[in-house]
Amino acid sequence: MPVATELHLRRAERRLEVTFDDASRFSLPAELLRVESPSAEVQGHTPAERRLVAGKRQVAIAAIEQVGNYAVRLIFDDGHDSGIYSWDYLHRLGREQDRLWRAYLAALADAGLSRDP
């Protein structure tokens, strides 16, 4: 499992930059982190319960809290704060960012929803 060695919150760009011990580095948009939150509120308890989150184009990360040596809790300015982002999950989001983003945009379009609030 990769371990994060550096986290940098780029507030103005609404991005979280994460560097891992395998030398990989990802710049993750707050919007993607919010809509892919590992929380039960977003993911549900089964794939059928997964929730499509719309209207988060302007969401920002308000704070980051360390969770042991394996994760962080991201607190978003829309009040969402229940997702625990393990190093493994952040690494996966980074690796799959393009695919996840395309799937998110397609799901919004299919549902007639928007990224705008």
Residue 38 placed within a domain: yes
**Nearest in space to 9 (alpha carbons), one of 70, 66, 92, 89:** 66
Residue 65 has pLDDT above 90, yes or no: yes
The average pLDDT across 35-59 equals 94
Number of domains forming the structure of the chain: 1
Whole-angstrom distance, CA of residue 79 vs CA of residue 77: 5
- Evaluate whether residue 33 is within a structural domain: yes
Q: Identify the CATH number of the domain in which residue 59 sits.
A: 3.30.2020.30
Quote the pTM value. Answer: 0.95
pLDDT on residue 47 = 86
Q: What is the C-alpha separation between 101 and 3, in angstroms, rounded?
A: 23
Query: Residue 55: which domain range?
Result: 4-110
CA 115 to CA 117: how far, in whole Å? 7
What secondary structure letter does DSSP report for 115?
Answer: S
Q: Tokens 């395998």 map to which residue?
A: 22
pLDDT mean across residues, the chain: 97
The answer to the question of residue 117 being in a domain is no
Q: Residue 116 falls within a domain, yes or no? A: no
What's the pLDDT tens digit per position in 94-105? 999 999 999 999
